[in-house]
Each structure stands twice: as structure tokens, then as C-alpha cells.
Structure 1
Amino acid sequence: MPTALLNTQWRLRPLFACHLVALLLLLSWLWQPTRQLWDQFDLQLFRLLNEPVHAAGLWAHIWAIGSMRPVDLGVGVFMLAVMLKADLVFSGVQVRRAFFAFLAVLLLLLLFRVGFAELVKTMDWQRPSASLVVEDSARLTKLFPEWEERWDMKDSATRSFPGDHASVLLIWAMFMSFFARNWRLLLVWAMATVFMLPRLVAGAHWGSDAFVGGVLLSLLALAWGCFTPFAYRASEWLERVTLPLTRWVAKLPVLGRFSLISGR
């Protein structure tokens, strides 16, 4: 694996830079003069994305489908497919270590999310989502009540900050950016952007929930996962403890062909 990602040593400059950017983002959201700019951005972005939903046409149908909970699972599978497809971003030999390294970084993200959620609660930074605040906003659950009853659509949240959905997509895209080049890098960020849109169109999250809260959490997880030995050590340990299972699955006729298992 390229040493730019799986570090065996601490890289203090990028580690510090990630924390500095995360802090500046948070301060820009908390400081009243710049918070006004964020609030204007949030409102303008929501109106731009949400107003066409009123017509209940193709735009509304696309994002109604994208807001369904089962679609989130499909998005996750698609993201993993891009990561695990040999010679797309990673070579067959790299796939398993990359997968384990990403799991380690994702675990860090979840831990930071829990800690940050307590801070947000303590400091009373929480707020309801755009669909619950902006008058006359188009609610997908009301436009498609039968879909909501069957598929559990997400278009509102009483606690919208930070954007959990966006943070997962962003940490995946940031992680993949260490490896992806040319059109593959564009593919990664296009996927992350498109998959973030359903929550923003529906008003389940404000733009700053993603671009402040989501980016902040992703930067912290990226910093401690990829600019310290953590990802390297964790992926090494996971590969070692799962080796007996991997060898057994490798003997199966179909599963054994996957690069995650075969290492080819």
C-alpha cells in the first residue's frame, strides 16, 4: 500500500492542518458575522433545491426515491463496490488492506460523532432541519405518503447538526482520494456529491450540516486515521485475525474469486 495513506509514523503537519481547518469551519459557523453568511447560504441552497419539488414531477420523484432508507443501503453497497473492484482504484493486492484501513477510519468517525454530539448538546448548538423551519417547504413524505408508509423516507430531523449521512460519504471520498486519480477521482467526488443531495433537497439537513459538521467530523477521522500509524496498525491486525476465515472462504467457488478474499 502507498505509504502516503498507511503511515507507520506520525505526520504532524497534515494532522495539525486537518484540526486547524476543522476548528476554523466550526468557528465560522459559531461566530455571528460569519454565521449570518452560513445561514444565508443554507436558506438559498434549500430554496434552490427544494422549490422544484412542489411540482411533484421528475425532480421530486428522483429525490423521493433517493430519500428512502433502503436506498441508503444500496448506496453503501455501490461505494464498497467501487472500493473493492480490483484495478479500478486499488490493485487486487491492495483491496483487502484498503478495506480494513477504511473500516478503521470509519470507526474513528463514529467515535468522533458520539463525542461531538455530546458537545453539541451541551453547548446547545442543535437545531431542527430545514423542512421543519422554512415555511411552505415541499415535504416529500406528504407528496408521496404511500412511499413513506412503505419505505420510510427521510425528509426531516429535529436534530440535524451535524450531517451524519454527509460525514460518511465525505470520509469515504476523502479516503479514496489518497488513491484515486484522473477520472476515478472525479467519479469518487461525483458519487459523494450526488448521494448527499437527497437529504439537502428534502430538507432533512441544512447545507452547513454537511459542509461544516460533516466536513469537520471527516477531517478529524481522516487526521487520526491516515496521518498517524492507526490505519496501518488496524488494517494489519484485522488482516491477521481474519486470515483463517479468508483462507476458508477462498476455497468457495464464487466468493473465493473476489479480490477482497483472493488478494488478486
Structure 2
Amino acid sequence: MGLRNLPAILLLNVFGIGLFLSWYLPENHGFWFPIDSSIFHYFNQHLATNSSFLKLVAITNNRAFDSVSLLAMGLLFLYFFVKQDAAGKRWMIIMGIVMLLTAVLLNQSGRLLPVERPSPTLTFTDINRVSELSGIPTKDSSRDSFPGDHGLMLMIYAAFMLRYFTRWAFCIAVGYVIIFSLPRIMVGAHWFTDIYVGALSMACVGLSWWLLTPASDATINFINRSIPGKGKPGN
């Protein structure tokens, strides 16, 4: 599997590294900064003039709203889970655990990047802060927003959907990436490039070596064989 997928792995690595360097190397992030700035100011200007938009952004960036994204991912996972026999359900649970471990490890790897970048709300002056305007507790700032950890988690989920389930499940999961990462951009807790450069480049490089080689399968199968219980291989 690994050798057969080597061209795809290398292509994803070239894309991911190139994407990161296109942002990291130029002074003041080159052409990416005007994009980041325009997107931030577009949403930020409407916070003070549109009360409905302000409430929407405040609610979707409240910590409690994170449960909605977890529920959406859980329901898609459940759709496949209920169709499995005992062995299949056991395998899916183990795969889910491996997916969570992958997310933790890849997210921690992102902390090793030589970047420390405050969010737009801590970079620009004379801007609107959702927490101040709405009175609703929100995550509207970050002292180190790159790469976007929330977006990275969603991308990892989408990649696992593509690797182990169906293309339509992947398309739904990509929708989750867009829908559930957008509030962080609208509120100014993340730059656009925190997610679509930082998180995406991390996902392309890290997940290509994990999901397109035997590594993830071997890990899932090892755990499956090692843990006793109903549905264990060989029982």
C-alpha cells in the first residue's frame, strides 16, 4: 500500500510544504496578509452594525457550541457504526480511538512550528470584540493562533472518513471543516491562513504518511488483536 501510494504521498508533501513556505518565507507573509486582513475586516465591520450577525458569531464561538460540531461528527460516525456486526463495531471504536490519538499527536506537532502568531483581534487596533459587544462569553482572541487547532481536528476527521468509509462521507466532513471553522474566522480568533494554510499543510504532510501507508492499519489491527472482548479477531 505504501509504495503504491508513494506518488500521492510525495505530491501531498510537496503541496503541504509549499503551501506553508508560501506563507512563512515572504516578509509579512506576502500575498497572504492582504487576504487575511480583508477577510477579518469584512466580518469585523458588520459586528457593530448587524445585531443578528453579532449574536450568531457570539453563540457559535461560545464553548458550548463546540458540542454541536462533536454531535455532527458523531452522527456521521454512528450512521456507519449501527450497520456493523460486533467485530465491525469493535473495529470502528478502535479506529475512532486511533483517530483521536492522531489528532492529539498532530496538534502537538503543530506547536513545534517556528511560528507564534497572535489572532487578528490582538493584532489590529480599533476593532470590534464580540465578547464586549454581545456580553456572551466567546473565544474571540488567541495569543498563538497558528496553526488553527480546531480546523486541524476537523480535517483529520475528514481524512479518516475518506480513508475508511466513503467519498460522500468525506464530502460531508469537508462541509464540517468549512462550517465549523468559519465562526473562528468571523470572530477574529483565527486568521484565514491559520486554518487553510497552517492546519491544511499540517494535515497534508502528517496524514499522508499515516493514512496512505500501512501505519494506521497496523496500529488499529495491533490494538484490535491486543484487547480482549467480544468481536476480537480469532474469537
Task: Flag whether TM exceeds 0.5 (same fold).
Answer: yes
Report deviation, 1:114.
2.1
- 1:1-264 matches, within 5 Å, as 7=1, 11-32=5-26, 35-86=29-80, 91-92=83-84, 96-120=90-114, 125-145=115-135, 147-148=136-137, 153-178=138-163, 179-182=165-168, 184-244=169-229
Task: Call closer, same or farther: CA 1:46–1:9 in 2, change over 3 Å.
Answer: same
Structure 2: segments with no counterpart, 5+ residues: none
Q: Could you tell me whether the CA contact under 8 Å between 2:69 and 2:176 is conserved in 1?
A: no
TM-score (norm 2): 0.84
Take 2:198 and 2:107, find their aligned partners in 1: how far apart are those partners? Answer: 10
CA deviations 1:133-191 (Å, max 9, x no partner) are 1233221111222x21xxxx211001111110110111212322343335x54432222
Take 2:83 and 2:204, find their aligned partners in 1: how far apart are those partners? Answer: 26
Q: Could you tell me whether the CA contact under 8 Å between 1:8 and 1:228 is conserved in 2?
A: yes
Report deviation, 1:61.
1.2
Task: Call closer, same or farther: CA 1:191–1:222 in 2, change over 3 Å.
Answer: same
Report deviation, 1:91.
5.0
CA deviations 1:109-152 (Å, max 9, x no partner) are 422332331332xxxx211101111233221111222x21xxxx
Structure 1: segments with no counterpart, 5+ residues: 1-6, 248-264
Count of residues in Structure 1 that have an aligned counterpart in Structure 2: 228
Task: Call closer, same or farther: CA 1:10–1:186 in 2, change over 3 Å.
Answer: closer
| SS of equivalent to 2:189 | coil
Report deviation, 1:47.
1.7
Task: Call closer, same or farther: CA 1:76–1:243 in 2, change over 3 Å.
Answer: farther
Q: Could you tell me whether the CA contact under 8 Å between 2:16 and 2:201 is conserved in 1?
A: yes
Take 2:5 and 2:140, find their aligned partners in 1: how far apart are those partners? Answer: 40
Take 1:108 and 1:243, find their aligned partners in 2: how far apart are those partners? Answer: 23
Q: Could you tell me whether the CA contact under 8 Å between 2:162 and 2:170 is conserved in 1?
A: yes
TM-score (norm 1): 0.76
Q: Which moved more, 1:19-28 or 1:68-77?
A: 68-77
Report deviation, 1:197.
0.8
Task: Call closer, same or farther: CA 1:159–1:177 in 2, change over 3 Å.
Answer: same
CA RMSD of aligned residues (A): 2.6
Q: Which ranges of 4 or more aligned residues in structure 1 deviate by more than 4 Å?
A: 7-10, 93-96
Q: Could you tell me whether the CA contact under 8 Å between 1:108 and 1:221 is conserved in 2?
A: no
The AA in structure 2 aligned to 1:142 is E
